[in-house]
Amino acid sequence: MQEKLNVVPFVSVDHMMKLVLATGVERFLIELAAYIEEDFRRWECFDKTPRVASHSAEGVIELMPTSDGETYGFKYVNGHPKNTRSGRQTVTAFGVLADVGNGYPMLLTEMTILTALRTAAMSAVAAKYLAPKGARTMAMIGNGAQSEFQAIAFKAILGVDKLRLYDIDPSATARCQENLAGMGFEIVACSTSQEAVEGAEIVTTVTADKQNATILTDNMVGPGIHINAVGGDCPGKTELHRDILLRSDIFVEYPPQTRIEGEIQQLDPDHPVIGLWQVIAGKAPGRSGERQITLFDSVGFAIEDFSALRYVRDRLKDTGLYEELDLLADPDEPRDLFGMILRAAKSAPVALKAGAL
């Protein structure tokens, strides 16, 4: 990308789809996962804060900022489960990457598709350290917009190739199964969540309803299972029975955020959890026994989005899969911002009027 002071590279939804296809979905996920691991190993370099959330009865709108001291990134994201009733996505997002040294944005990109990819990559990274060795069978409860991304990430990064699918809406399971056809999976569509977890070494829960639900009950979770809890990601929204948490070793992204939004909002504020970054950096053990129940209480954290933004920025080079937005004022004299308007007025069809400002 050629650097111009007044333009910012913008990756549209169309460009993002073309970038994913040009890269290959599995390769994209593998490389994105490597960026996440790299940033988690330098976790202590980052500014960290729980995301800034505006909650309503209908959903939530959030900002997720972070910086490593050289580069700043943030994501705008919403979560509105009822949107599907009107043909809209439950989650939409966009993100910005900026230079800390001068404050100028370096990238503006869609992040609806990218968030699904980074969430799946994050799940697989966690399972790499927490799932039973050689696990190949995953139950996936909730077969909505995230499901195919999760499945492909687990296959690409861990070799999971057997899926047991369940959703309260059978058409969602059928669509997921159809979308994954020919991708090397052995897929069983199940009629209940209990049936789905039978024989599974990994259980992924990725439902959308904004409520304290019980997608998994204690009797469904046997020893040695790894649980990838993705759907519970805001106050009042959980998926697991509390008793499961009490039997599990729990791994989280950023505890101050997860205690508000994750499954562990059901537990006492001082209940012990382990930061996943500590495991990735070799400062804490991950899976340590065959009968251990591990739980990745995933809510999504800004550093993961930062990794995704970095990856897209680096992948864009020489692809042309972006457009240049005239987003930044660039006057001939930096202190003469108003002069830009005066010069524009000379060439504009309508004369500048004092009362119009």
pLDDT surpasses 80 at 196 = yes
Whole-number pLDDT of residue 52: 94
- φ, ψ of residue 218 in degrees (nearest 5): -60, -40
Instruction: Name the more confident of 267 and 354.
Output: 267
Sequence-distant (≥ 6) Cβ neighbours of residue 252 within 8 angstroms: 258, 262, 264, 273, 274, 275, 276, 296, 297, 299
Quote the percentage of the chain above a pLDDT of 90: 81
Where are the alpha helices (H) located in 161-212, listed in sequence order?
Answer: 170-179, 193-197
187 touches 163 (CB < 8 A): yes
- Compute the distance between CA of residue 309 and CA of residue 64 in angstroms, rounded to an integer: 12
Query: Cα(290)–Cα(294) distance, rounded to whole angstroms?
Result: 10
Q: Which residue has 């990064």 as its token pair?
A: 157
Is residue 1 predicted with pLDDT exceeding 70? no
Mean pLDDT of 19-45: 98
Q: What is the pTM of this model?
A: 0.92
Residue 177, Cβ neighbours under 10 Å: how many?
Answer: 18
Q: Which strand (E) or helix (H) includes residue 264?
A: none
Whether 27 has a pLDDT exceeding 70, the answer reads yes
Report how far residue 126's alpha carbon sits from residue 154's, in angstroms, rounded to the nearest whole number. 10
The reply to whether 130-300 shares the fold of 7-113+305-346 is no
CA-CA distances (angstroms) from residue 34 to 20, 156, 215?
16, 12, 31
The domain ranges of the chain are: 7-113+305-346, 130-300
CB 326 within 8 A of CB 112: no
- Mean predicted lDDT score pLDDT of the chain: 93
Tokens 């996943």 sit at which residue? 276
Catalytic choice (47, 68, 161, 233): 233
- Quick count: other Cβ atoms within 10 Å of Cβ 49? 14
CB atoms within 10 A of CB 320: 10
Fold designation for 130-300: Rossmann fold (3.40.50)
The CATH homologous superfamily of the domain defined by 7-113+305-346:
ornithine cyclodeaminase, domain 1 (3.30.1780.10)
- Sign, CA torsion 53/40/122/26: positive
- Residues 67, 99 contacting (CB under 8 angstroms): no
pLDDT tens digit string along 320-347?
Answer: 999 999 999 888 888 999 998 888 888 7
Q: How far apart are CA 66 and CA 53, in angstroms?
A: 15
The Cα 148–Cα 152 span in angstroms is 6
Within 13 Å, how many C-alpha atoms sit on residue 18's CB side? 10
> Judging by DSSP bridges, how do beta strands 52-55 and 60-67 pair with one another?
antiparallel
**Which sign does the torsion angle of CA 273, 276, 282, 288 carry?**
positive
Q: What is the mean pLDDT of residues 292-310?
A: 97
| Alpha-carbon span 275 to 145, nearest angstrom | 27
Weakest-pLDDT range from 2-11, 90-99, 177-186, 223-232: 2-11
pLDDT at residue 241 in the model: 94
- Nearest Cα neighbor of 261 from 7, 1, 55, 13 is 55
Q: CA 132, 135, 137, 143: dihedral to nearest 10 degrees?
A: 70
Residue reference for tokens 């990430």: 153
233 belongs to the catalytic site: yes
